[in-house]
Amino acid sequence: MRKNSVKNTRINGEVLKELSNIIRSEIKDPRINPMTSVVAVEVAPDLKTCKAYISVLGDEKSQQDTIAGLKSAEGYIRRQLARTVNLRNTPEIRFILDQSIEYGINMSKLIDEVTEHDNKMHVADGKETE
């Protein structure tokens, strides 16, 4: 099976959906931040391994605690995934911290600040265009 085949894309989507449900509703570890989301999942073509990209909204300590909590619950998560997703092999999950959402929020704030500053400079110079 090729990496970008239709079957692999469908498996990635199904694993992403079920992994999100498991993390959101079934894990009771207090280290896992409630604002945790699964951004993307890459299941290897041989179905042996899986990279799960996790985004955590919070400070650095919260992010590290969440990843540690997910790694400690990996056996439980894998067992639940095996029950809900019908695959020949249940992949071994590797959790990877993804900070793209946080990066996007920070970039949006910076753009807003620059736009606001630029508007103030135009009003101060009397060059307001209508």
Asked if 15 and 43 touch (Cβ cutoff 8 Å), the reply is: yes
The span from the CA of 92 to the CA of 54, in Å, is 15
The span from the CA of 75 to the CA of 24, in Å, is 16
User: Which tens digits make up the pLDDT trace of 96-115?
Assistant: 998 777 788 888 999 999 99
pLDDT for the residue 118: 86
The span from the CA of 52 to the CA of 116, in Å, is 38
The span from the CA of 79 to the CA of 124, in Å, is 63
Instruction: Say how many CA atoms lie within 13 Å of 114 toward its Cβ.
Output: 6
User: pTM score, two decimals?
Assistant: 0.75
Quickly state the pLDDT bin for 88 (edges 50, 70, 90).
confident
User: Which tens digits make up the pLDDT trace of 9-48?
Assistant: 999 999 999 999 999 998 888 999 888 889 999 999 888 9
DSSP class per residue in 56-123: E-S-HHHHHHHHHHHHHTHHHHHHHHHHHS--SSPPEEEEEE--HHHHHHHHHHHHHHHHHHHHHHHH
The encoded tokens of residue 55 equal: 């985004």
